[in-house]
Amino acid sequence: MVTNNRRAAAGRNISFLIVAVILGVLFSLQWNSPPPPTYTSHERATALTIQRLEAEQEELKATIGRLRAQLDAYQQQSTARTEMLEEIAAQLAEQKLRAGLLPVQGPGVQIVLDDGIQRAMPSGPGDYLIHEHDIRDVVNLLWMAGAEAIAINQERVVATTSIYCVGSTVMVNDTRLSPPYVIQAIGPPDTQSEVLRNPSYLRDLKDRAARYGVQFKIVKVGNLQLPAYTGGFAIRYAQPGQ
C-alpha cells in the first residue's frame, strides 16, 4: 500500500514538473518577443496622408488616361476636318479655274483682227471693218477646237461674257475695246490653227480679208499668259441654299 502511494505521489510530482517547465518556456518566449508596435499621432497622420496621396495619384492616372483618349479622338477629328478642308479648297480652286477667276498660262494661238485698208469699192460701208460677230465667230471656233481659256484684249472670256457692238466700238464684259483685237486662246495650238484656217469656216471674214484688207492673222505661241476675269456676275434669281 505504501509503495503504491509513493508511486502516485511521484507521478503527480513529475506532472507538476512538466507543467512548470512548459509554463517557464512560454513565459521565457513571451518575455523575449518584441512588444507590439505603437504609433504616435504624427506617424498615424503621415500614414493617412500617404494613403490619401496614393489614392489621388491613382485617380490622376485614370484622369490622364481619359484625357489622352479624348485628345486622340480630337486629333482624329481634326485630321478628318483638315482633309475635308483641303478637298474643298482643291474643288474650289478647280471651279475658280473653270470659271475664269484665276490667271492661267500655257501654249495656244494668238489671232489678230483689225480693220483693213479699202482696196476695192465695198458693197457696204462696213466691209473693211471688224465687227462684233467676227470676234464671236472666232471665239466660238476656238472653243470648238479645244480652247481652255480665251481673252480678248486682256479681257477674259467667261460663261457670262457678252460681245456686242455700240456704235463703231465693240464691248466685251462691258469694257469698250478698239482695234486691233488680239484674241489669245490657250489650248492645242495645231488643232486650233487648223480649225481657224479651214476654208469651211469664217468664209465672210476671209473673203473681206482678201478683198478689203481686213487683217486676220494666226500665230502659234508656246506660252500665253491670260489674266483672270475681274468683272461681276449678274445673278438675279439664284441665292445661297440652306
Q: What does the domain layout of the chain look like in residue ranges?
A: 104-226
Query: Residues, the chain, total?
Result: 242
In CATH, what is the architecture of 104-226? 2-Layer Sandwich (3.30)
Neighbour tally for 185: CB within 10 Å: 30
pLDDT of residue 2: 46
Report which residue type is found at 127. D
pLDDT of residue 197: 96
Of 41-50, 81-90, 142-151, 192-201, which gets the smallest average pLDDT?
Answer: 41-50
Q: Which residue has the higher pLDDT, 203 or 99?
A: 203
> What is the C-alpha to C-alpha distance for residues 195 and 201, in angstroms, rounded to an integer?
8
Give yes or no for residue 159 having a pLDDT over 90: no
pLDDT of residue 217: 97
Question: What is the mean pLDDT of the segment spanning 159-186?
Answer: 90
- Determine what percent of the chain is predicted with pLDDT higher than 90: 39
Phi-psi region of 214 (alpha: psi -120 to 50; beta: other; left: phi over 0): beta
Q: Which residue has the higher pLDDT, 48 or 115?
A: 115
pLDDT of residue 139: 96
Question: What is the mean pLDDT of the segment spanning 66-76?
Answer: 83
- Determine what percent of the chain is predicted with pLDDT higher than 70: 78
pLDDT of residue 110: 98
